[in-house]
């Protein structure tokens, strides 16, 4: 797909993987709308790239529908959706004090990571289909899972379950949207330098990086964005989950 002049929506686009993707697409002439709840950083990123910021709860049915309509009104029909919004709760099934895993926290992870991803896919796709785009390709959807979908660690039951859900719905959604010429691909990143990891001491970051076989370091958000660029450019990439992890397989803890 030729990117120059088209519109895109990036959820979780204020910073991290989404922020790097927003910058990459804007540099290629894409009109970017960022969906995020971090208004301060989101507005700054949007201003930096000449894009648009909208405060959106991705799991809110009405809010996402309104935001997709707003993005379309300002930038035209979005033909690319990159879902990066997500949370990464950590909690054991039974805590040291004997209390069980919080059902509220598990539900919140499902709501944001899985329902939120699905909600944005559905609203984006409906608007794109209604626009009646012509040509071999109408649009591309890129979702973000995690290696935790396959190698979930202790304390990651909620996170791994939601990312496993994103992996599991990739192929059926790709098959469903094929009739509308919309491709669907999921990236499963390993350990990346996101805002959460950047808050750790340098020694801890270095220790995590040594767990990666090659290259033996933490992934850079720009490398995630580079894969998004390749996915958009290659029309035969569809219905697949791509691990972007330097060959790491996470240990139990």
Do 52 and 74 meet the contact criterion of CB atoms below 8 Å apart? yes
Q: What is the DSSP letter of 23?
A: H
Nearby residues of 170 by Cβ (< 8 Å), 6 or more positions away:
143, 145, 184, 185, 186, 239, 240, 241
Which helix (H) or strand (E) is 9 found in, with range? strand 7-11
Q: At what angle do helices 157-177 and 116-131 cross, to 10 degrees?
A: 20
Contact status, residue 138 vs residue 79, Cβ threshold 8 Å: yes
| Pick from 107, 3, 9: nearest CA to 65 | 9
DSSP strands (E only) in 21-164: 31-36, 52-55, 78-83, 139-144
Determine if the peptide bond prior to 138 is cis (ω within 30°): no
Is 150 considered catalytic here?
no
Which of 1, 151, 27, 159 minimizes the C-alpha distance to 81? 1
The residue annotated as part of the active site, out of 35, 159, 192, 224, is 159
Burial of 167: CB neighbours in 10 Å, binned 0-12, 13-18, 19+: middle
Known catalytic residues are 159
């Amino acid at each position: 797909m030729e990117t120059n002049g088209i519109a895109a929506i990036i959820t979780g686009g204020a910073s991290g993987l989404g922020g790097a993707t927003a910058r990459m697409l804007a540099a290629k002439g894409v009109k970017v709308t960022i969906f995020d709840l971090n208004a301060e950083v989101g507005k700054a990123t949007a201003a930096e790239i000449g894009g648009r910021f909208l405060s959106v709860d991705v799991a809110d049915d009405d809010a996402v529908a309104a935001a997709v309509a707003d993005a379309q009104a300002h930038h035209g029909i979005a033909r690319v959706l990159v879902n990066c919004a997500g949370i990464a709760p950590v909690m054991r099934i039974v805590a040291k004090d004997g209390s069980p895993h919080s059902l509220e926290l598990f539900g919140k992870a499902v709501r944001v990571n899985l329902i939120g991803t699905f909600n944005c896919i559905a609203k984006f796709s409906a608007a794109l289909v209604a626009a009646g785009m012509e040509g071999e390709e109408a649009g591309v959807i890129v979702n973000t899972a995690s290696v935790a979908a396959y190698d979930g660690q202790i304390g990651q039951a909620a996170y791994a379950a939601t990312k496993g859900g994103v992996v599991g719905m990739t192929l059926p959604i790709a098959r469903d949207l094929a009739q509308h010429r919309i491709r669907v691909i999921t990236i499963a990143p390993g350990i990346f330098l996101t805002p959460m990891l950047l808050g750790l001491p340098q020694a801890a970051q270095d220790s995590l990086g040594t767990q990666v076989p090659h290259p033996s370091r933490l992934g850079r958000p720009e490398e995630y964005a580079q894969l998004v660029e390749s996915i958009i450019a290659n029309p035969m990439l569809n219905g697949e989950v791509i691990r972007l992890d330097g060959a790491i397989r996470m240990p139990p803890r």
